[in-house]
Structure 1
């Protein structure tokens, strides 16, 4: 079975399953902050304990993603995603019954981190890229990424309502119900395992050969390092913007509204950059995202914040938020093909997650030491600009061992 031979029902079963799985996995994960004050009060953990569990989640997700990618590329997606859903539910169960920081770290940190490796963006993008023709690949990944951004719209209001009316334990049980919906979604997305690998003129490579080729390719290395900056900037904003606004004497509702604006405009931006990636060089678009983010951060922190400027900042950052996902995945496919896409994206994503950890932890360290975020946001702007311009100049030629061989004319014998 090839992408061109899929019926519309088969194609949408795969793409819809990937989008639903991604949407619910990320929506629930992004809503965990709503549980923090209630769990701190009821089970005797501290805010630092809760923050540590979330930081461990990011690191576990990043460390495990390359290995999950290897399994997906070797064994297929269906059983891997179903295992991820099971681990997600186990993590939620540990959170429901948590009585200590250790339980919280095991549940929301380790289990959810592992589950996100199996159910979130890297795997969903790899599934989506295999279900469509090359001409539709970039816009399709943008569409699935955009739909995956809608999970927060479902999970967050549901969690807040259940917490207010029935308690945080019931809200987590409600999340377990949403995780059950991920089961048929994973089964539908897993139908991509029946797809035949695309036939190319390049020789089939082993995993070790592809890894050596990737680590020796300057463009891939630049892209992975720039992805580190992406994670640092985004998590710095989501983690520390509310505190910054509080220091400026603004109402907490302004920070919540800004995060909501980020979520809404993220849907638009994800599809937009997926569409643009099918028409323009992806390295320029990706570098442009990093540069524009840095300029918006500089403009926002240089000017006195107001509710209006904060909402505009949220809208601008949301538009530039996850649009990088289809671009990074698309560049990996162009350089190395589909065969080991999940593995190579997973390695780059590890770099992203290290940046995420430092964006949250490093921003807090700077604030505790200096009493302001001035040094932190200036550093985020500087390295963002460097990463953006380096990304634009990356080498986008496939490795020599993946370029089509040029046929050598053979002299015909004369009579």
Structure 2
């Protein structure tokens, strides 16, 4: 299936992600003006964003359950309203309490209802199973494109206006997400789903997944992804500064991460449709192992930093279409938002630890070397974890067992 033949819902979901994640990824440039307004240090703003990310993960499984029960359209509409309200209240905050409530609590909740988990859950219901990973890859790439679509506009707003006005413009952008969501209409594809799956309740789906070894292997792999992403995003600039490189080198390396992630997300998604997803996932983590090991082994220069940004960016969020694709392939599309939401929470736990442990180890050893080599080991372990995953659909296995039982009874 050509990407141009994907249902309208896929393109609406892409539009929602560009706005939702584009706004989220621009928060970093608000640190200085907001800190100055509140006459507080950088930790004040940093903790608010850290709390936002943690709540983003905490809310995700519950939002996913709501999406599976009431439909993605209603959840995204509610999320867009909450996101916009959070931005508006942040812009008029005069107390620390209101600021934390709005930027951490409300925006964290809004993000959980307008980002990957809910949108991919909606996409899974309208795209044939054999094209799921490609569709997920294209949708994931939209999140990185949002960085380049929104951040320059945010910087321009901060140049010509104040940060309050910039956030109020972002609040208006949430109305566009609301409009996109209002046109979303899920039409189920003609995928073969067993009667057992159709009759399954949410509780049964959760029990089935949580007692399945493959589901926990997927969790562990995505934990490593979160650890990598947040450690590198948070500590790469400081690591390069320790190597006496200019701040512009770190900015360029992170820019390459974003650019190459756009292509990488789609590439790994396409590979997931053409080949066995678990092997593609293992290949991705083996690539990460080699890239990170090469970076910490070779001399750190402007060129190697840029090459590292491009290489790690190419396998940065390629895990998203593959991980969500595996969950969909094994457990079906019916409760994908819930089951992938739980996996995403594990990812966010890894993200939290990646940012925190990186700083903790640096303070203890006075060097990033131990944590860099830890990420190499984690990448290698994650690659091995995906190899034993049984990616056969649960519904298919149940059907096979149901067909065998009468035959065995006849033989007896």
TM-score of Structure 1 vs Structure 2, range by shorter chain: over 0.9
Deviation, structure 1 residue 169: 1.6
Distance in 1, Cα, partners of 2:354 & 2:144: 21
Whether 1:252 and 2:247 are equivalent positions in the alignment is yes
Partner in structure 1 of residue 23 of structure 2: 28
Question: Are residues 286 and 46 of structure 1, via their aligned partners in 2, closer, same or farther at CA, if it must alter by over 3 Å?
Answer: same
Deviation, structure 1 residue 63: 1.1
Question: Does structure 2 conserve the Cα–Cα contact (< 8 Å) formed by 1:130 and 1:338?
Answer: yes
Distance in 2, Cα, partners of 1:269 & 1:411: 51
Which of 310, 313, 321 is the matching residue for 1:318?
A: 313
Whether 1:200 and 2:193 are equivalent positions in the alignment is yes
Distance in 2, Cα, partners of 1:219 & 1:129: 20
Which of 150, 155, 158 is the matching residue for 2:150?
A: 155
Partner in structure 1 of residue 403 of structure 2: 406
Note the residue ranges of structure 2 that are not aligned, 5 or more in a row. Answer: none
Partner in structure 2 of residue 216 of structure 1: 211
- Please list the CA deviations of residues 133-176 of structure 1 after superposition, one character each: whole Å capped at 9, or x if unmatched: 22222211111222332111111101111112212222212212
Which of 81, 86, 92 is the matching residue for 2:81?
A: 86
Distance in 2, Cα, partners of 1:297 & 1:196: 41
Deviation, structure 1 residue 239: 0.6
Deviation, structure 1 residue 250: 1.2
Distance in 2, Cα, partners of 1:132 & 1:25: 22
Question: Does structure 2 conserve the Cα–Cα contact (< 8 Å) formed by 1:87 and 1:111?
Answer: yes
Question: Does structure 1 conserve the Cα–Cα contact (< 8 Å) formed by 2:72 and 2:121?
Answer: no
Partner in structure 1 of residue 109 of structure 2: 114
Partner in structure 2 of residue 357 of structure 1: 352
Distance in 2, Cα, partners of 1:101 & 1:377: 35
Distance in 2, Cα, partners of 1:42 & 1:61: 25
Question: Does structure 1 conserve the Cα–Cα contact (< 8 Å) formed by 2:9 and 2:185?
Answer: yes
Deviation, structure 1 residue 278: 0.6
Which of 54, 65, 75 is the matching residue for 2:70?
A: 75
Partner in structure 2 of residue 99 of structure 1: 94
Whether 1:269 and 2:264 are equivalent positions in the alignment is yes
Over aligned residue pairs, what C-alpha RMSD do you find? Answer: 2.2
Distance in 2, Cα, partners of 1:242 & 1:271: 27
Which of 160, 166, 169 is the matching residue for 1:165?
A: 160
| Number of aligned residue pairs | 403
Which of 281, 285, 302 is the matching residue for 2:280?
A: 285
Question: Are residues 301 and 332 of structure 1, via their aligned partners in 2, closer, same or farther at CA, if it must alter by over 3 Å?
Answer: same
Note the residue ranges of structure 1 that are not aligned, 5 or more in a row. Answer: none
Partner in structure 2 of residue 191 of structure 1: 185
Partner in structure 2 of residue 140 of structure 1: 135
